[in-house]
Amino acid sequence: MALTCLFRAAVFAVCLAGTGADPRPVIRTVGQMALLPTGMAIGPHVTEVVWKRLPNIRIAEYSKNNIEYFGTMEYKKRVTFKVGKYELEIRDLRIEDTADYEVIFVTNSGSEILTRVRLEVYEQISGTQVKAKNITSICNFFLLTCSVTLGNPTRFSWWKNSEPLGNDSIHYFQENRDTVEIHHSGADAGIVYKCEASNPISKNKAEILLKDICEHPATGLRWWVIMLIVIVVLIAIIVVLFIAYRCMLSVTWAELRAGWVDWCREDPKSRASFCTFLWNPKSVTQPGQNNKMNRNEMAEML
């Protein structure tokens, strides 16, 4: 009896020591299926198997020929426990499925055997592009940033023409290497900078010509160019409004003048004073000869 207990303790200690090893990664693409292996030969002496997602999220449990799944209904539809080799199948993979998984075997002797496996899920990288920003007025300093429109890159690699780029006197990488600070002189305008965004399942490249950065800055127009454009636009709006106003005023005055002339012609004697005022408002304030002159002028116009 003592020997049996000692043997079980030794087996359990060995198995626990093995759990400290780095998990062997299973690498898959979003939407694919992953089969998580046990990584060991299992005999018929196994009575219970438990799959977990670390730190302690139970996924499936096998005991007495019965399988029980845990988690949401949506998650249960994506996982299957394989009885033959005690493997765990996960379908329709997502980025959030990336994790360390643990399987625990319980033998008919009561001992436990633990093993772990890591699952890494990635999205295909596409749409890599390099953009320049913070360009100085003489274009002797700027930042190049590498980005992607789709995917989850884990590494960024840079080249200056065909040579790998590293930190030196004119190049300095920021922490995750997606951005590099560049100091240069006008003598190297023909240089091409290239960036490659990659992850374990895909990679994608982009490049930018140093000459294009300085001739067509990616940061946009200078502030004084923007101000000039705004001023020109405002002047154009004012001119258009002024012309429209003058046209409207001219048409309205012509229509009113034609109506007044017709009205004055209907009864020129009784309406002489008012019609004279319409043509020359100041004339009504002067009695006598001035009024006669204005009436004569009005008669001639009528």
Instruction: Give pLDDT, residue 220.
Output: 46
Q: What is the mean pLDDT of residues 106-129?
A: 91
pLDDT in tens, 195-213: 999 999 999 999 998 888 7
Residue 209 CB-density burial (10 A; 0-12 exposed, 13-18 middle, 19+ buried): middle
* pLDDT band with cut points at 50, 70 and 90 for residue 74: very high
Instruction: Give pLDDT, residue 94.
Output: 95
Q: Which has the closest alpha carbon to 99: 56, 69, 66?
A: 56
Whether 212 contacts 176, CB under 8 Å = no
E strand or H helix at 15: helix 2-18
Please give the Cα distance from 169 to 174 (Å, whole number). Answer: 14
Instruction: Give pLDDT, residue 260.
Output: 67
pLDDT in tens, 254-299: 666 666 677 677 777 666 666 766 555 544 444 444 444 455 554 5
Within a 13 Å sphere around the CA of 219, how many CA atoms are in the beta-carbon half?
15
- Order of strands across the sheet that contains 87-90: 34-36, 87-90, 79-82
Beta pairing partners, 283: none
Whether 114 contacts 18, CB under 8 Å = yes
* pLDDT band with cut points at 50, 70 and 90 for residue 81: very high
Residue 9 predicted with pLDDT over 50? no
